[in-house]
Amino acid sequence: MQATIGGEPRLGAHLNGGISGAIDSARRVGLGVDGTPGGPIQVWSHNPTSWRASRPKDAVITKFRQGCIDLDLAPVVTHGIYLMNFASPDDTLHEKSINALVDHLEVGALIGATAVVIHPGSGVTLGVDEAVSRCALALRVVLGRTEALENRPLIALETCAGAGKTIGRTFAELSAIIAQAGNQASLAICLDTAHLFGSGYDLASEDGLVATIAAIRMTWVVPPGCFATTRQSSHARLLFSIGDPVLPGSTCSPEAVNLSSIVPSMPAKTLKARC
């Protein structure tokens, strides 16, 4: 990741090892050690290829939260399992996805996560509008079931490349999901730059990057900082992006400076060189 919410840009990483191993992983890649600053992190709170709900033990939670304090790791973001499909026309899969996200939010609250990242899903046999509505319905149900959850993380919708029937490949589709979901203050946007590029947004040139930022601003009226308001009177947060933190213009553009950026884990010397 690059940048903290409302702060100076910092470099972080997606950490391996789940909740139990994330702090050790942070030390291995050099976050918050040997003079290197800490930064935002993304972790798996669940096995990404399993439906099994899980709760970390109290000792694991304590170690994780204290480690985040000691190494200055913030914000903390978790990524949802790959099996969830909130746009699915299959009622069984739709409900399983809802239940899984509820569990993710509960675990996220336990570990102090700022957000849980999800893929909106695939409509399979549905058209885009139907798939968008199906996803929004799932989010409404999840937010309703977790309304009383203390310190509930945001739900961050990740942009997708648009393969097959997946939705969320354009800012317009994400905006439509948010507008229909309700309780937009509990939702966020995760900009995956690789997916954006794959879906047709030109991020390889300065002109293309400027145009992409303009497209974001057409969908979300972006004030200084990372908070945004959609023209559908919904309130989403442009929370962070996945991709190369040294993408041309990504840290010098006023509109993008407070969007965090998740990058793969890397050696400590590389992190130090980029901080």
Residue 213 is assigned to a structural domain of this protein: yes
pLDDT of residue 201: 81
Q: Cβ(5)–Cβ(258) under 8 Å?
A: yes
Q: Cβ(196)–Cβ(168) under 8 Å?
A: no
Instruction: Point out which residues pair with 73 in neighbouring strands.
Output: 39
Residue 19 DSSP symbol: H
The pLDDT tens digits for 259-268 are: 445 454 444 4
CA gap 152, 148 in Å, rounded: 8
* Region class of 181: left (phi > 0), else alpha (psi between -120 and 50), else beta: alpha
Residue 2 is assigned to a structural domain of this protein: no
User: What residues make up the domain containing 261?
Assistant: 13-274
Q: Cβ(29)–Cβ(13) under 8 Å?
A: yes
Q: Which helix (H) or strand (E) holds 192?
A: strand 187-192
Number of structural domains, the chain?
1
Residue 7 is assigned to a structural domain of this protein: no
Residue 65 is assigned to a structural domain of this protein: yes
Which CATH number is 219's domain given?
3.20.20.150
Residue 6 is assigned to a structural domain of this protein: no
CA gap 194, 210 in Å, rounded: 16
Residue 70 is assigned to a structural domain of this protein: yes
Q: What are phi and psi of 156, to 5 degrees?
A: -105, 115
pTM recorded for the entire structure: 0.80
Q: Cβ(13)–Cβ(262) under 8 Å?
A: yes
Residue 147 is assigned to a structural domain of this protein: yes
pLDDT in tens, the chain (275 residues): 333 344 555 677 889 899 999 999 999 988 888 888 888 899 999 999 999 988 999 999 999 999 999 999 998 999 999 999 999 999 999 999 999 999 999 999 999 999 999 999 999 999 999 999 999 999 999 999 999 999 999 999 998 888 889 999 988 899 899 999 988 889 988 877 777 878 888 877 888 877 877 777 655 433 333 333 332 323 344 444 444 443 333 333 334 334 445 454 444 444 444 43
Residue 193 is assigned to a structural domain of this protein: yes
